Structure 1
Amino acid sequence: MPLVTPLPEDHNPDLVDLVQFFRGPLGVVPNSVLTMQRRPAIARAFTDLNKAVMETGGRVTAEQKRLIGYVASHAAGCHYCEAHTILAAERFGASPERLRDIWEYQKSPHFTSAERAAFDFALAAACVPNAVTPDIQQALRQHWNEDEIVEIVGVVALFGFLNRWNDSMATTLEDIGIEAGSRNLEHTGWQKGKHAD
């Protein structure tokens, strides 16, 4: 059961258009954002941060950002965000092979060395305490420039916020997220857990 009940999408007329942004990447307005509406400034700031972090304009693609978010969310243990990031990665063009092999990225032919370095970083950065070592940093620098590294760290940090929010709130996972999690993550042991309705 969620700690706080999400508000209807049309609860705050000033936020209706803003929260609809999430229908593009996810196909649904997440219950996490509907809960944030209780403090409109948080909903606005979070949506703006999400747009800024997930914007693409360089080599870090929209699909890669969602997979980085998935790796970070898995490390944090947030089943809600795991389902959302795998859903968004799928919607942004991740192949079934990439979705299936994300936890075997080190040996899968479906990932590049640059992606492997980014996923290693995301996994270490999402740990508590932080497990990023100089070797992990160096591997990241070998494949990504400083602007791209800021994008990668931005994704990990954004999902750090979301992982804490959704796990603490026991945010109810929407049907589309449940379907994506079941379809793509059951082989990893994923389940709805506290995010079931």
Structure 2
Amino acid sequence: MSRMPMLGPETACEQGAPTLEHIRKQLGMLPNFFAGLANHGASLNAYLAFEDQLSTGSRLTAAQREMISLAVANANGCHYCVSGHTLSARHAGVDAAAAKRAQQGQAQEAKDQAMLDFALDVLEQRGHLPDDSLNAARQMGLDDATLVEITSWVGINSYSNWINNLIRPKIDFPEVPLID
């Protein structure tokens, strides 16, 4: 049971209501994450604006972004996000086995592995990476713009994980377990 109300366009504030209506029309449903985040309309709109800008200007593929999302969600213990991003990863071409590996911070391609290693280092070290970690990522072909983008994806995913861990919305996707 959710610890906060799940708001819809009918019950959200004037800032959040039109956004929720747009999401519902776009997706054909209103995921509980957005319904919970709408408890503060400005936070909902800010999250979506940040995500839109990152996606629009991304140097990473949709599959790579979902792999980061899965690794970060699992590390943050967000069952809702692991479930949602597993579905999104499938739509981005990531099969179930690769999604499960990504949850564990593992990838088959060397560059994808470097990306996940860097993302999890950023998360675990809260950005205070030693020079050797930064240099290792660069040696694997991740340039500075990509490193900043990966860090941004870690940040926005951590934010959504924390919101979901706080609110505990009902999972409205096929459930996927966290991996220890």
TM-score (norm 2): 0.81
2:3 aligned counterpart, secondary structure: coil
Give the corresponding residue for 1:168.
Answer: 166
Q: Which residue identity is paired with 1:91?
A: H
Q: Please, which of 129, 148, 153 is the counterpart of residue 146 of structure 2?
A: 148
1:127 aligned counterpart, secondary structure: helix
Give the corresponding residue for 1:118.
Answer: 115
1:87-126 matches, cutoff 5 A:
87-102=87-102, 103=104, 105=106, 111-126=108-123
Shift of 1:36: 2.1
Q: Please, which of 13, 19, 22 is the counterpart of residue 23 of structure 2?
A: 19
Shift of 1:9: 4.6
Residue deviations 1:122-142, cap 9 Å, x none?
222222666743332222222
Distance in 1, Cα, partners of 2:155 & 2:164: 14
CA contact (8 A) 2:74 2:82 kept: yes
Identity of aligned residues (%): 20
Shift of 1:170: 1.5
CA contact (8 A) 2:20 2:35 kept: no
Distance in 1, Cα, partners of 2:30 & 2:123: 25
Distance in 1, Cα, partners of 2:154 & 2:142: 15
Give the corresponding residue for 1:8.
Answer: 8
Give the corresponding residue for 2:124.
Answer: 127
CA contact (8 A) 1:6 1:31 kept: yes
Change over 3 Å in CA distance of 1:164–1:116 after alignment to 2: same
Gaps of 5+ in 2: none
Give the corresponding residue for 1:73.
Answer: 73
Give the corresponding residue for 1:194.
Answer: none
Distance in 2, Cα, partners of 1:133 & 1:22: 42
Distance in 2, Cα, partners of 1:169 & 1:104: 25
Gaps of 5+ in 1: 190-197
Q: Which residue identity is paired with 2:43?
A: I
| Structure 2 residue 156 is matched with structure 1 residue 158 | yes
Change over 3 Å in CA distance of 1:91–1:28 after alignment to 2: farther
How many correspondences in the alignment? 174
Distance in 2, Cα, partners of 1:104 & 1:44: 30
